[in-house]
Amino acid sequence: MRVREALDTVLDRAIVPGYTSVGYRLRRFGWSEADPAPNALSGRTALVTGANRGIGKAIATGLAGLGATVLLTVRDRDRGARARDEIVAALPDADVRVEVCDMSDLAGVRAFAADLAGRLPRLDVIVHNAGLLPATRTETGDGHEITLATHVLGPVLMTELLLPVLAESTDPRVIFMSSGGMYTQALPVDDPEYRDGRYRGAVAYARTKRMQVALTPILAERWAAQHASVYAMHPGWSDTPGVADALPLFRTVTGPLLRSPEEGADTAVWLAATTPAPPTGRFYHDRRPRPEHYLPTTGDSDRERQTLWQYCAEAIGLHYVRAWPSR
C-alpha cells in the first residue's frame, strides 16, 4: 500500500506521466473492479452539463451504465439528441434524456432550473462539466466574462436553484470538472472578470478552474444543510474535441499520451457512484484527494476565497453569508 501511494504521489508531482494515460493505467491497478458497484446508481437521477461530446458524454455514459437516469444538459438540442442516441445504442436499457440550458446565460439557468425542479421529484447528482476556452474576451448578456459565467456563476446558480430537489436525495452529490491547468494560476480576487491585461483564453480557462477549486469547500459548507457532498476534480490530459479545437498544438505534441474521454471521465463517475461518499469539499484526481497548490505563487487565504465568494454570490443574486471566519 505504501509503495502504491508513493508511486501515485510521484506520478502526481511529475505531471506528464501522472496526467496522461500512463498515470491512469498505472493507478488503475490499485482500484477494485467492483468500485463503483454494478447498478450503483439504479433508481437515481444525474444531470450532466456539456454532455454531448468528449468527457461530458463519457461521464453520462458511465453514469447510465451504472443504472442512473441521465439528463444530458446541452446548449444544442440536436447535438444532444445525437449523443443520446449514441449512448442508448451502446446501452440499450439506458434512460437518457436531453435537456437544454446555456450555462453562461444566467436568466436561462434560472428558467431551466425552475422548470426542471417542477418536473423532478428528486435529483441525486449534478456534474458541472460544461466548459469553453475562448480565443478572445467575450461578455455574456449579463455583462460577465464568458468563462467566469460558464464555469462558475452558472453552475453555482443552477445548484442553488436545484437544492430543493437535491435535498430529496438520500445522498446528493455535486461535482465540478476543473482542470490541472488551474495549478498555474493564482486566485484572481482583484479581477475575476479578467478586464485587466492581455486576455488569453487558456489563462481565462485556468483562472476560472482555480475558482471552482477555491469555492468547493465554501460550497460544501453552504450546501451541508441539504447533506450534499461537493467535489472539484481534474481529468488529466484527455483527447477530446475541445482540446482538438482549442489547443491543436498541444494535442499534436502530446497526442499519443493523451487519455481517452472515458479515462478522463473516470473520477467523476467514481465520485458520483462510490460508497460511502468520499470526503466532501476536496479536490480530486484519479480517485484520490490532491493538493490544491504546487507553486508558491498560487496560494490563497480564507479571506481571499471569501472575497471571491462574495463577488460571485452578488453576481448571481444570492444573499452572501460568510462560510467561516476569515483569518
The answer to whether position 30 is within a domain reads: no
pLDDT at 30 over 50: yes
The answer to whether position 324 is within a domain reads: no
CA-based end-to-end distance of the chain: 37
Number of domains in the chain: 1
User: What average pLDDT does this structure show over 204-211?
Assistant: 97
**How many angstroms separate the CA atoms of 196 and 213, rounded?**
22
CB distance 78 to 72 below 8 Å: no
CATH of the domain at 305: 3.40.50.720
The answer to whether position 263 is within a domain reads: yes
The answer to whether position 3 is within a domain reads: no
**How many angstroms separate the CA atoms of 186 and 297, rounded?**
7
pLDDT at 12 over 90: no
User: What average pLDDT does this structure show over 23-34?
Assistant: 91
Dihedral sign from CA coordinates of 322, 324, 325, 326:
negative
pLDDT category at 326 given cuts 50, 70, 90 is very low
How high is the pLDDT of residue 251?
A: 64
Residue 263, phi then psi, degrees to nearest 5: -65, -40
The answer to whether position 160 is within a domain reads: yes
Among all chains, which residue has been given the C-alpha cell 440499450? 92
205 catalytic, yes or no? yes
CB distance 145 to 204 below 8 Å: yes
Q: Is the whole model's pTM more than 0.85, yes or no?
A: yes
User: What average pLDDT does this structure show over 297-326?
Assistant: 84
pLDDT at 325 over 50: no
Dihedral sign from CA coordinates of 43, 47, 50, 52:
positive
How high is the pLDDT of residue 172?
A: 98
User: According to DSSP H, which parts of the chain are helical?
Assistant: 2-14, 16-19, 21-28, 54-65, 77-90, 106-119, 146-148, 154-161, 163-166, 201-222, 241-246, 248-254, 261-273, 302-315
How high is the pLDDT of residue 133?
A: 93
pLDDT at 223 over 70: yes
**How many angstroms separate the CA atoms of 109 and 104, rounded?**
8
- Coil, helix or strand at residue 126: strand
- Coil, helix or strand at residue 165: helix
pLDDT category at 324 given cuts 50, 70, 90 is very low
pLDDT at 323 over 60: no
Nearest to 303, CA basis, from 189, 148, 152, 192: 189
Of the two residues 302 and 4, the one the predictor is more confident about is 302
Catalytic pick among 194, 205, 231, 284? 205
How high is the pLDDT of residue 237?
A: 85
The answer to whether position 231 is within a domain reads: yes
Which helix H or strand E contains 229, and what residues bound it? strand 229-233
User: What average pLDDT does this structure show over 33-51?
Assistant: 97
Q: What is the domain range of residue 192? A: 40-315
pLDDT category at 320 given cuts 50, 70, 90 is low
Which helix H or strand E contains 128, and what residues bound it? strand 125-128
How high is the pLDDT of residue 6?
A: 77
pLDDT at 215 over 90: yes
User: What average pLDDT does this structure show over 280-295?
Assistant: 96
The answer to whether position 147 is within a domain reads: yes
Strand partners, 282: 231
- Cα distances from 142 to residues 109, 138, 148, 280, in angstroms, run 12, 11, 11, 31
Q: What is the mean pLDDT of the chain?
A: 92
pLDDT category at 10 given cuts 50, 70, 90 is confident
Taking every pair of Cα atoms in the chain, the longest distance, rounded to a whole number of angstroms, is 53
Under DSSP, the state recorded for 234 is -
User: What average pLDDT does this structure show over 136-144?
Assistant: 97
How high is the pLDDT of residue 102?
A: 98
pLDDT at 13 over 90: no
> What's the grid cell of residue 84?
443520446
The answer to whether position 14 is within a domain reads: no
